[in-house]
Structure 1
Amino acid sequence: GVIFAQGGRFGGWAIFVEDGYAGYLYNDLGERKVLKSSQPLPPGSSTIVVDFRYDGEGKGAGGDVNLIVNEETPVSAHISRTIPSQFSIDEGADVACDRGSPVVGRQLGPHRNSLFTGEVKKVTLEINPQR
């Protein structure tokens, strides 16, 4: 299920768990980039970090994204472009679900936008304009 989602089917991002693996998805007008952890989540609590480093100045540039689970070696990818403005005027951000139009969509299966069945203890967003 979805741990955190912002945006919707035309643009957004989400952190999710699928079949015991942590994942990150970036959706740019339906073009999706998916990262999944290399190992399943262990029983108990886990920390999932998504670190995005913007390529350059100006709107719509790409960047490198790292999915880090429990401080292990990250799974990395490059996103070639980003949404140059806001994701949507009527989509919000959700914790433990994705209530608006689905960011993840059916790419990960029909049930992937459902409630997260685990416990989300904390979600922290840090914006660093220098990165």
Structure 2
Amino acid sequence: MAQHLDHTAVAQKLLDQQGQINDLTAERDDVYRERAHLVALLAAMTDDAVITYVPDTEEPGWQIVYLTIGGRQCSWHIAPRDADLFQHVERVGALDVRALWDGHTTEEKYAHITAHTTELAQR
């Protein structure tokens, strides 16, 4: 026996879910914007900070900022919507030696930052 499908209720549920998705997307984007502000500050405080466009992405405009913190490379992807925060960072080509990823993982990056922060705080 076929059940009766209330198309109006289904459509409303989909609209509600899309609203929740939109809210979560906006919240995520706000968090990434906050992170981008902090990375932009670090870039201004770090010698030899550079930024380059991501060569292997399907979405245009993504960039990577490379910083040397405590003698080690750290990098972050920067969304096109946050690029305005990095106008002060030297733009280089993807083959510039300063913009060649050294293979660090996210975990390694943050472990290094934690160790460097501890070292700085003890000075």
More strand by share: 1
TM-score, normalising length: structure 2: 0.28
Q: By percentage of residues, which structure has more helix?
A: 2
Tell me which structure has the larger Cα radius of gyration.
2
Q: Which has the higher contact order (CA 8 A, sep 6+)?
A: 1
